[in-house]
Chains A and B, each alone.
Chain A
Amino acid sequence: METLIVIDQAPYGSFAGREALDMAFSLAAFDQPASLLFTGAGVHWLRKGQAPDSIHQKSVEKNLSAAPIFGIEQLLVDSASCERFGLTVDDLPDGITLIDGNADMIGRYQNVLFAG
C-alpha cells in the first residue's frame, strides 16, 4: 500500500512541508512505501544552492538528499509546475523524476496526503 505525499507549498514559509517530509521518513522507517510529489509552489523545494542559514533554518535541499538513504521510493516533480516557475531538467537535483502530476496520476495511489 503505497503512500504519495504531495508538497504544494514553497519551503521556509511554514513547517507544513517539513512535517510531511518527517512523515515520509517515518513511513519508510517501518518499510511502508512512500513517494513524494512536488507540485505548484512546492517545486521551489528542488532549487539547487539553497543556503537558509541566512534565515536561521536548515536546508530542505540537504534534508531531502537523505530521502534515498532512508528508503523513500520516488521523488517526483510535476513538469508543468517546473515550467511555470522556470525550472528546467538541468536545474533539478539528481534522482528526481519529471512527471505529469495530474489528478489521474495522484489517484493511482491508495493513500494520498497533502502537506499542510
Chain B
Amino acid sequence: MMSDFHTLHILNKTPDHPRFSECLGMSSSDDALLLTENGVLALTTSRVLGDRTVYALKSDLTARAIDTHQSNVGAIDYQGMVELSLKAKRVICW
C-alpha cells in the first residue's frame, strides 16, 4: 500500500485554512499527504488534492462520518502513521 515518497506532509487543517494551500503549494508529486483531524474533511471537496498520494487517519474519518470507499485514499491507523513517518525522508506537520 505504501509507495515510495520523499516528504510526508501531515495536514490537520480544513481546506479553507491558509495553511492548507501553503501545504499543497509546497508538496510535489514525490510526496505523500496524510490527512488528520479536520484535514480529513478535504475528502468531501472534490479534486482539491489533485493526484497526490493521500492517506487519512481512520479514527478521524470515522469520527466525522467521512467515507473513503470510492476514492484512492489509504485509510490508516496510528501504527500506519508511525510507519509512514519512519519511511519519510522528511516530515512536515502543517
> How many of chain B's residues touch chain A, expressed as a range?
10 to 19
Is the pair A113, B93 in contact by a Cβ cutoff of 8 Å? yes
Across the interface, do A111 and B91 meet the contact criterion of CB distance under 8 Å?
yes
Question: Do residues A111 and B19 form an inter-chain contact, with CB atoms below 8 A?
Answer: no
Contact A112 B91 (CB under 8 A): yes
Per-position 1/0 for A91-115, Cβ under 8 A of B = 0000000000001001101111110
Give the interface size bracket for A toward B: 10 to 19
A95 to B26, CA, bound (A): 29
Most B CB contacts (10 A, CB to CB) among A8, A110, A112, A113 go to A112
Neighbouring A residues of B26 by C-beta, 8 Å: 103, 106-107
List of A residues within 8 angstroms of B89 by Cβ = 110
In the complex, are the beta carbons of A110 and B94 less than 8 A apart? no
Across the two chains, which residue of chain B brings its CB closest to A5? B93
- B19 adjacent to A110 (CB under 8 Å): no
Q: Which residues in window 1-59 of B have CB below 8 A to A?
A: 7, 19, 25-26
Contact of B94 among A103, A111, A114 (CB under 8 A): A114
Contact in complex: A107, B93 (CB < 8 Å): no
Digitize A66-110: 1 where CB-to-B-CB distance is under 8 Å, 0 elsewhere. 000000000000000000000000000000000000010011011
Flag whether B64 is at the interface (Cβ < 8 A). no
- Rounded to whole Å, the gap between the CB of B85 and the closest CB of chain A is 9
Closest residue of chain A to B9 (Cβ to Cβ) is A112
Which residues does chain A contribute within 8 Å of B25, judged by CB atoms?
A: 103
The listed residue (A8, A107, A114) touching B90 by CB distance below 8 A is A107
Chain A neighbourhood of B93, CB < 8 A: 112-114
B25 to chain A, nearest CB (A): 8
Q: How far is the CB of A57 from chain B (nearest CB, A)?
A: 24
Residues of A within 8 A of B (CB): 8, 103, 106-107, 109-114
Query: 8 other contacts beyond A107-B90, A112-B90, A112-B92, with CB at 8 A cut-off?
Result: A8-B19, A103-B26, A106-B26, A110-B89, A110-B91, A111-B92, A112-B91, A113-B93
